[in-house]
Amino acid sequence: MAKTKKEAAYRALHSAGTLRRRADEARALLAPCRVCPRRCGVDRLQGELGVCRIGARARVASYGPHFGEESPLVGENGSGAIFFSGCNLLCVFCQNEEISHADTLGDSAPDAATGDQLAAVMLDLQQRGCHNINLVTPSHVVPQILEGLAIAAESLRIPLVYNTSGYDSVETLHLLDGIVDIYMPDVKFWSDEVAARYTGVKDYATVVRAAVREMHRQVGDLELDSRGLATRGLLVRHLVMPGRLDETGEIMRFLAGEISPATYVNIMDQYHPCARAADYPEINRPLTADEYHQARELARQAGLHRLDERDWSSLFRRLGL
């Protein structure tokens, strides 16, 4: 059901002084680092690098209005995407390998941003008319994000989107309670064994399920305003993997049965071999149209009824086609 426009969640915490305290608490997680479930234990405040290859400063690979996201995020003016370098997951088939599999420059990299610079990026996106701040691959830079947000929040008004792989620490998510408006995890795998083969982490599925439960506890089902724009809630992505419809079915049943049958789900057909996918013959091929249609049917059979539909005509108009 459409809701009236309301203030972004972090505004109340900013007014109460809680947002700055949360930022300070998050910063303490950097040394020794336990920001994400990998818990590398390095001292990022001193420039040491763990798996994500990011030190004390977040690195902003690019930012700007983005029209390739789900319709409730894009609207007329686009989602204000901030693409962060580095990643705590490092999938072997990563389609953004040049950004996510970061180099070892750390805080000396030209795209390393201070809190003031990150705040300026957020405010620039708002000034350009974006409907939200879309934090892309944020799991390893939550402290830096909160530092920037605490600076920007005096003037920032638009919702905050946490666009994540889902491999998030519940401890860190607790610090985001009342700050993030829209959680958008990509739940790719159901079993730890399958996830370990393609990500190298042995507890991906277990961690993701706990993270999604916590995200939904905080924000509930996705809410839309009178314009059809998302204002608050959970939006789950699922990248369908070749030959893994069994995993898709399990994920859809989990979402419908343990999260909510009203969960808004984007079943994505974008998979194609990238990065080191050639080393894994079973995924070294594009997804077929039949697999994609079967995945959507599995979602419906599980009881999910809010499946994302791309508004192609609106997108083409923006592109002048």
pLDDT digits (tens, 9 = 90+) for 27-66: 999 999 999 999 999 999 999 999 999 999 999 999 999 9
CA 183 to chain centre: 7
Task: Note whether residue 226 is domain-resident.
Answer: yes
Task: Note whether residue 2 is domain-resident.
Answer: no
Task: Note whether residue 35 is domain-resident.
Answer: yes
Asked if 40 contacts 51 with a C-beta cutoff of 8 angstroms, the reply is yes
Give pLDDT tens digits for 141-191.
Answer: 999 999 999 999 999 999 999 999 999 999 999 999 999 999 999 999 999
Output the domain CATH number for residue 65.
3.20.20.70
Task: Note whether residue 154 is domain-resident.
Answer: yes
Instruction: Say how far apart CA 137 and CA 73 lie, in whole Å.
Output: 16
**pTM of structure:** 0.94
Residues facing 239 on adjacent strands: 268
Q: Specify the pLDDT at position 272.
A: 93
Which tokens hold the place of 273?
């071999």
Q: With bands split at pLDDT 50, 70 and 90, how would you rate the model's confidence at 301?
A: very high
Asked if 87 contacts 137 with a C-beta cutoff of 8 angstroms, the reply is yes
Instruction: Say how far apart CA 104 and CA 21 lie, in whole Å.
Output: 30
Average pLDDT on 227-250 reads: 97
Structural Rg of the chain based on CA atoms: 19
> Nearest to residue 36, comparing CAs of 168, 164, 174, 138?
168
> Where is 38: in which H helix or E strand?
none
Task: Note whether residue 44 is domain-resident.
Answer: yes
- DSSP 8-class letter at 288: P
pLDDT surpasses 90 at 1:
no
Task: Note whether residue 1 is domain-resident.
Answer: no
Range of the domain at 297: 7-318
Number of domains present in the structure of the chain: 1
Task: Note whether residue 249 is domain-resident.
Answer: yes
